Amino acid sequence: MEEEKKKEGSYRYWVREATADAAPPPQPQKLTNNDVVASNAPALGSLWNQAGTWEEKNITKWATDRLKELLVSVGSLQFSSGKAEIIDVNRCVGDAFLVTVRNKKRVGYTYELSLKVQGEWSFEENTKKVKGSLDIPEFSFGELDDLEVNVKLSEDKELSQQLKQQVRLDMMQFLEPIRLKLGQFEQELKDR
Protein backbone atom coordinates (compact mmCIF):
# COMPACT_ATOMS: atom_id res chain seq x y z
CA MET A 1 0.00 0.00 0.00
CA GLU A 2 2.83 2.30 0.79
CA GLU A 3 4.31 1.70 -2.67
CA GLU A 4 1.01 2.63 -4.38
CA LYS A 5 0.86 5.95 -2.49
CA LYS A 6 4.44 6.62 -3.41
CA LYS A 7 3.69 6.05 -7.12
CA GLU A 8 0.61 8.34 -7.05
CA GLY A 9 2.35 11.18 -5.23
CA SER A 10 5.55 11.28 -7.18
CA TYR A 11 6.20 13.20 -10.41
CA ARG A 12 5.64 11.05 -13.43
CA TYR A 13 5.73 11.34 -17.14
CA TRP A 14 2.19 11.97 -18.43
CA VAL A 15 1.70 8.75 -20.34
CA ARG A 16 4.04 5.83 -19.93
CA GLU A 17 1.98 3.28 -21.78
CA ALA A 18 0.06 3.68 -25.03
CA THR A 19 -3.70 3.75 -24.55
CA ALA A 20 -6.38 2.78 -27.03
CA ASP A 21 -7.68 6.35 -27.53
CA ALA A 22 -4.23 7.86 -28.17
CA ALA A 23 -3.26 9.09 -31.65
CA PRO A 24 -1.18 6.65 -33.70
CA PRO A 25 2.53 7.41 -33.89
CA PRO A 26 3.57 9.39 -37.00
CA GLN A 27 4.73 7.38 -39.98
CA PRO A 28 7.39 8.74 -42.35
CA GLN A 29 6.22 9.45 -45.89
CA LYS A 30 8.35 9.94 -48.94
CA LEU A 31 7.78 13.31 -50.67
CA THR A 32 7.11 13.50 -54.37
CA ASN A 33 8.49 16.18 -56.71
CA ASN A 34 5.07 17.90 -56.72
CA ASP A 35 5.14 18.21 -52.93
CA VAL A 36 8.58 19.82 -53.02
CA VAL A 37 7.67 22.33 -55.78
CA ALA A 38 4.40 23.33 -54.07
CA SER A 39 6.15 24.14 -50.79
CA ASN A 40 8.65 26.51 -52.44
CA ALA A 41 6.36 29.55 -52.70
CA PRO A 42 8.22 32.70 -53.70
CA ALA A 43 9.46 34.50 -50.61
CA LEU A 44 10.56 38.09 -50.26
CA GLY A 45 14.13 38.86 -49.37
CA SER A 46 17.23 36.73 -49.53
CA LEU A 47 17.55 33.01 -50.16
CA TRP A 48 18.76 32.45 -46.61
CA ASN A 49 15.57 34.03 -45.23
CA GLN A 50 12.89 31.85 -46.84
CA ALA A 51 10.62 32.22 -43.81
CA GLY A 52 10.72 36.01 -44.22
CA THR A 53 11.31 36.58 -40.52
CA TRP A 54 13.41 39.76 -40.52
CA GLU A 55 15.70 41.28 -43.08
CA GLU A 56 16.77 44.88 -43.46
CA LYS A 57 18.37 46.18 -46.64
CA ASN A 58 20.02 49.59 -46.88
CA ILE A 59 18.98 51.37 -50.10
CA THR A 60 20.32 54.82 -49.21
CA LYS A 61 22.59 55.15 -52.26
CA TRP A 62 19.77 54.45 -54.72
CA ALA A 63 17.35 56.69 -52.80
CA THR A 64 19.75 59.64 -52.59
CA ASP A 65 20.56 59.48 -56.30
CA ARG A 66 16.88 59.15 -57.22
CA LEU A 67 15.83 62.06 -54.99
CA LYS A 68 18.43 64.32 -56.59
CA GLU A 69 17.32 63.28 -60.06
CA LEU A 70 13.63 63.87 -59.33
CA LEU A 71 14.06 67.22 -57.59
CA VAL A 72 16.23 68.73 -60.31
CA SER A 73 13.55 67.71 -62.81
CA VAL A 74 10.96 69.96 -61.13
CA GLY A 75 11.88 72.62 -63.67
CA SER A 76 11.02 76.30 -63.51
CA LEU A 77 7.93 78.00 -62.14
CA GLN A 78 6.39 81.16 -63.55
CA PHE A 79 5.15 83.74 -61.01
CA SER A 80 3.23 86.98 -61.40
CA SER A 81 6.42 89.05 -61.25
CA GLY A 82 9.11 86.57 -62.24
CA LYS A 83 10.27 83.03 -62.60
CA ALA A 84 12.63 80.64 -60.81
CA GLU A 85 14.01 77.14 -61.12
CA ILE A 86 15.73 74.54 -58.99
CA ILE A 87 19.22 74.23 -60.45
CA ASP A 88 20.90 71.84 -58.01
CA VAL A 89 20.56 69.84 -54.82
CA ASN A 90 23.03 71.35 -52.33
CA ARG A 91 22.45 68.83 -49.60
CA CYS A 92 20.65 65.50 -49.49
CA VAL A 93 21.34 63.76 -46.19
CA GLY A 94 19.48 60.79 -44.76
CA ASP A 95 18.85 57.10 -45.10
CA ALA A 96 16.42 54.72 -46.75
CA PHE A 97 15.74 51.09 -46.03
CA LEU A 98 13.69 48.12 -47.11
CA VAL A 99 12.61 45.76 -44.34
CA THR A 100 11.09 42.31 -44.77
CA VAL A 101 9.09 41.29 -41.70
CA ARG A 102 6.94 38.17 -41.60
CA ASN A 103 7.24 37.93 -45.38
CA LYS A 104 5.81 41.44 -45.86
CA LYS A 105 7.79 44.26 -47.42
CA ARG A 106 8.00 47.60 -45.61
CA VAL A 107 9.97 50.65 -46.72
CA GLY A 108 11.01 53.82 -44.98
CA TYR A 109 13.29 56.81 -45.20
CA THR A 110 14.27 60.01 -43.44
CA TYR A 111 15.96 62.84 -45.30
CA GLU A 112 16.95 66.50 -45.08
CA LEU A 113 17.28 68.59 -48.24
CA SER A 114 18.64 71.89 -49.41
CA LEU A 115 17.85 72.91 -52.99
CA LYS A 116 19.68 75.66 -54.86
CA VAL A 117 17.28 78.05 -56.62
CA GLN A 118 17.81 80.97 -58.93
CA GLY A 119 15.43 83.23 -60.78
CA GLU A 120 14.53 86.67 -62.09
CA TRP A 121 11.91 89.03 -60.71
CA SER A 122 10.63 92.24 -62.25
CA PHE A 123 10.06 94.97 -59.75
CA GLU A 124 9.42 98.64 -60.59
CA GLU A 125 10.53 98.14 -64.21
CA ASN A 126 13.82 96.53 -63.13
CA THR A 127 14.75 92.90 -63.47
CA LYS A 128 16.65 91.47 -60.52
CA LYS A 129 18.44 88.15 -60.48
CA VAL A 130 17.92 86.34 -57.21
CA LYS A 131 19.68 83.29 -55.80
CA GLY A 132 18.69 81.34 -52.77
CA SER A 133 17.87 77.96 -51.35
CA LEU A 134 14.86 75.96 -50.32
CA ASP A 135 15.56 74.01 -47.15
CA ILE A 136 13.40 71.06 -46.16
CA PRO A 137 14.43 70.38 -42.55
CA GLU A 138 13.19 66.80 -42.29
CA PHE A 139 10.75 64.54 -44.03
CA SER A 140 10.05 60.84 -43.81
CA PHE A 141 7.88 58.12 -45.27
CA GLY A 142 4.15 58.87 -45.17
CA GLU A 143 4.51 62.42 -43.86
CA LEU A 144 4.52 64.45 -47.06
CA ASP A 145 1.37 66.35 -46.06
CA ASP A 146 3.35 67.96 -43.22
CA LEU A 147 6.21 69.03 -45.50
CA GLU A 148 7.77 72.39 -44.63
CA VAL A 149 9.98 74.55 -46.84
CA ASN A 150 12.20 77.34 -45.52
CA VAL A 151 13.25 79.93 -48.10
CA LYS A 152 16.68 81.52 -47.71
CA LEU A 153 17.80 84.28 -50.07
CA SER A 154 21.39 85.19 -50.79
CA GLU A 155 22.48 88.44 -49.25
CA ASP A 156 21.83 91.07 -51.89
CA LYS A 157 21.80 94.64 -50.66
CA GLU A 158 20.08 95.85 -53.84
CA LEU A 159 16.87 94.02 -52.97
CA SER A 160 14.32 95.89 -50.90
CA GLN A 161 12.47 94.22 -48.04
CA GLN A 162 9.27 94.32 -50.10
CA LEU A 163 10.91 92.49 -53.03
CA LYS A 164 12.50 89.95 -50.68
CA GLN A 165 9.11 89.26 -49.15
CA GLN A 166 7.56 88.83 -52.62
CA VAL A 167 10.35 86.47 -53.69
CA ARG A 168 9.92 84.36 -50.53
CA LEU A 169 6.18 84.07 -51.12
CA ASP A 170 6.74 83.12 -54.76
CA MET A 171 9.36 80.50 -53.86
CA MET A 172 6.94 78.90 -51.41
CA GLN A 173 4.99 77.82 -54.51
CA PHE A 174 7.71 75.22 -55.09
CA LEU A 175 6.23 73.28 -52.17
CA GLU A 176 3.52 71.53 -54.23
CA PRO A 177 5.76 70.39 -57.13
CA ILE A 178 8.34 69.16 -54.60
CA ARG A 179 5.62 67.28 -52.72
CA LEU A 180 4.50 65.63 -55.99
CA LYS A 181 8.08 64.53 -56.81
CA LEU A 182 8.54 63.15 -53.29
CA GLY A 183 5.24 61.27 -53.67
CA GLN A 184 6.58 59.76 -56.88
CA PHE A 185 9.76 58.81 -54.98
CA GLU A 186 7.71 57.07 -52.27
CA GLN A 187 5.79 55.09 -54.89
CA GLU A 188 9.01 53.99 -56.60
CA LEU A 189 10.41 53.01 -53.21
CA LYS A 190 7.33 50.86 -52.46
CA ASP A 191 7.52 49.19 -55.89
CA ARG A 192 11.20 48.33 -55.42
Local confidence band at 44 (pLDDT 50, 70, 90 cut-offs): low
Local confidence band at 156 (pLDDT 50, 70, 90 cut-offs): confident
**For residue 41, pLDDT beyond 70:** no
Local confidence band at 152 (pLDDT 50, 70, 90 cut-offs): very high
* Domains of the chain, earliest start first: 55-191 (3.15.10.20)
The pLDDT value recorded for residue 37 is 62
Nearest to 144 by CA among 180, 168, 172: 180
**For residue 39, pLDDT beyond 60:** no
| Range name among 11-15, 61-65, 105-109, 165-169 with the lowest pLDDT average | 11-15
Local confidence band at 15 (pLDDT 50, 70, 90 cut-offs): low
Q: What are the CA-CA distances from residue 88 to residues 32, 70, 73, 181, 192 (Å)?
A: 60, 11, 10, 15, 26
Q: What are the CA-CA distances from residue 4 to residues 1, 8, 10, 122, 142 (Å)?
A: 5, 6, 10, 107, 70
**For residue 117, pLDDT beyond 80:** yes
Mean per-residue pLDDT, 130-135: 92
Q: What are the CA-CA distances from residue 7 to residues 11, 19, 55, 189 (Å)?
A: 8, 19, 52, 66
Local confidence band at 12 (pLDDT 50, 70, 90 cut-offs): low
Find which of 97-106, 119-128, 155-164, 170-179 is predicted with most confidence, using mean pLDDT.
Answer: 170-179
pTM for the model stands at: 0.72
Strands 104-123 and 126-140: antiparallel
pLDDT digits (tens, 9 = 90+) for 72-94: 999 888 888 889 999 999 999 99
**Rounded to 5 degrees, what are φ and ψ at 186?**
-60, -40
